């Protein structure tokens, strides 16, 4: 008999697609499964310790390596096969594009998939209400799907959330594209927002890109966990996962192109400024050279005469003006 666990737990028992019991302790699980021969169990554990998982591991035949992965954070998205059960790790994602920089929050969800139970391990308190609504929305499919239907409902909500996050980042890019491509380069705040978008895209892609392969592995299982009735639904989830990956790949290429274009525009603006400064320096150098020459401490033609002043002024104006017109025609000013 398994004692109550120290971590927070949520339980439901489904029979023929309908909840027949919920909110019961883990010590009642064996009796309820024996009483309802065709029922399947959902057991959710919120941030359990190793001792909590070790307490239920003998009941479901959980492999020690899978138990270790479920406790440790930051596992990659994957599907591992063990004798008697599967271990799946996925990430729910949520993106906020308001504020000075995009913010992406990820919640790691580990799952043990057995013949009669789906055991989820939440590392953080992610909202599971959408998953419950998905399970309750189609009792007829749940009636024939069993644990595979519960796994599908979880994946469907997770992948839809990832796709929504990918689209949110892509739409946020639309709002900043015109500002990034402004003449002379984007303001620093817009440029930093673009860097934040690129960082969020890379962060999200690490959670999304393995999902098509994970779903394909589920469909290829030799034991036929996913029957013909459920396969179209899994393929639909796979399609959403691929679309999310494609959206992220396109958005990543797009933001890289925008930031490169902004960098080129800044370089062009800097070159233009440097060229203008050089041109003005050349113009200023003319009167500097002439006045330096006529200001030597030796007598020269027109020294201490009005004609010398007029001649020097005329040379400064004509030479400087001619250089200005030449540089203006060349587009340096």
> At 290, is the pLDDT very low, low, confident or very high (cuts 50, 70, 90)?
low
Architecture of domain 8-266: 2-Layer Sandwich (3.30)
Distance CA 330, CA 333 (A): 8
Q: Could you tell me how many residues make up the chain?
A: 333
* 13-29 average pLDDT score: 93
Mean pLDDT rounded to a whole number for the chain: 86
Instruction: Determine the 3-state secondary structure of 333 from DSSP.
Output: coil
pLDDT given at position 225? 86
Contact 278, 332 (CB under 8 A): yes
User: How confident is the model over 294-302, as a mean pLDDT?
Assistant: 58
| 295 has a pLDDT exceeding 70 | no
**DSSP assigned state of 97:** -
Question: Which tops the pLDDT comparison, 222 or 53?
Answer: 53
* CA neighbor of 245 nearest in space, from 89, 93, 107, 121: 93
**Residue 86 β-bridge partners:** 81, 113
pLDDT at position 87 is 97
For 196, counting Cβ atoms within 10 Å of its Cβ (0-12 exposed, 13-18 middle, 19+ buried), the class is buried
Given a cut of 80, whether residue 269 has pLDDT beyond it is no
Say what the pLDDT of residue 294 is.
61
The answer to whether residue 107 scores a pLDDT higher than 90 is: yes
Mean pLDDT calculated for residue range 39-56: 94
Residues 93 and 207 sit within 8 Å (Cβ to Cβ) = yes
Q: In what order do the strands lie in the sheet with 8-15?
A: 18-22, 8-15, 40-46, 117-122, 103-113, 85-96, 78-82
Residue whose C-alpha is closest to residue 49's, from 68, 30, 32, 74: 68
What is the per-residue pLDDT for 212?
A: 95
d(CA 301, CA 305): 9
pLDDT at 81 > cutoff 50: yes
Average pLDDT of span 313-329: 80
Q: What confidence tier does 35 reach under pLDDT thresholds 50, 70, 90?
A: very high
pLDDT, tens digit (0-9, with 9 covering 90-100), for 25-34: 999 999 999 9
204-258 pLDDT, tens digit each: 999 999 999 999 999 988 777 898 899 999 999 999 999 999 999 988 888 888 7
Give residue 305's pLDDT. 72
Segment among 83-87, 113-117, 186-190 with least mean pLDDT: 186-190
Cα 315 to Cα 230: distance, rounded to the nearest angstrom: 92
- Find the mean pLDDT for residues 97-126: 92
In order of 6, 102, 103, 126, 288, the CA distances from 46 in angstroms are: 10, 28, 24, 9, 79
Given a cut of 70, whether residue 139 has pLDDT beyond it is yes
Global pTM exceeds 0.95: no
pLDDT over 70, % of the chain: 89
């Amino acid at each position: 008999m398994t004692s109550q666990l120290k971590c927070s737990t949520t339980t439901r028992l489904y029979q023929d697609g309908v909840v027949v019991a919920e909110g019961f302790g883990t010590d009642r699980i064996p009796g309820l499964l024996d009483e309802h021969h065709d029922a399947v169990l959902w057991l959710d554990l919120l941030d359990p310790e190793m001792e909590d998982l070790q307490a239920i591991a003998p009941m479901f035949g959980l492999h020690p390596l899978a138990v270790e992965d479920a406790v440790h954070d930051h596992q990659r998205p994957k599907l591992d096969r063990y004798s008697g059960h599967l271990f799946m790790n996925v990430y729910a994602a949520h993106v906020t594009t308001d504020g000075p920089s995009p913010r992406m929050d990820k919640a790691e969800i580990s799952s043990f998939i057995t013949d009669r139970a789906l055991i989820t391990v939440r590392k953080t308190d992610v909202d599971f209400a959408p998953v419950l609504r998905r399970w309750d929305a189609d009792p007829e499919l749940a009636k024939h799907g069993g644990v595979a239907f519960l796994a599908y409902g979880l994946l469907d909500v997770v992948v839809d959330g990832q796709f929504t996050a990918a689209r949110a980042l892509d739409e946020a890019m639309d709002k900043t594209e015109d500002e990034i491509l402004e003449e002379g380069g984007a303001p620093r705040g817009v440029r930093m927002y673009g860097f934040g978008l690129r960082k969020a895209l890379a962060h999200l892609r690490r959670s999304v890109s393995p999902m098509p392969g994970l779903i394909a592995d589920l469909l290829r299982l030799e034991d036929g966990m996913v029957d013909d009735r459920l396969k179209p639904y899994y393929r639909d989830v796979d399609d959403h996962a691929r679309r999310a990956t494609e959206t992220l790949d396109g958005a990543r290429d797009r933001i890289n192109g925008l930031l490169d274009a902004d960098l080129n525009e800044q370089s062009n603006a800097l070159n233009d400024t440097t060229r203008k400064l050089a041109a003005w320096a050349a113009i200023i150098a003319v009167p500097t050279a002439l006045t330096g020459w006529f200001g030597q401490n030796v007598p020269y033609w027109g020294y201490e005469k009005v004609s010398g002043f007029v001649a020097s002024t005329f040379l400064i104006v004509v030479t400087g003006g001619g250089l200005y017109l030449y540089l203006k025609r060349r587009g340096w000013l």
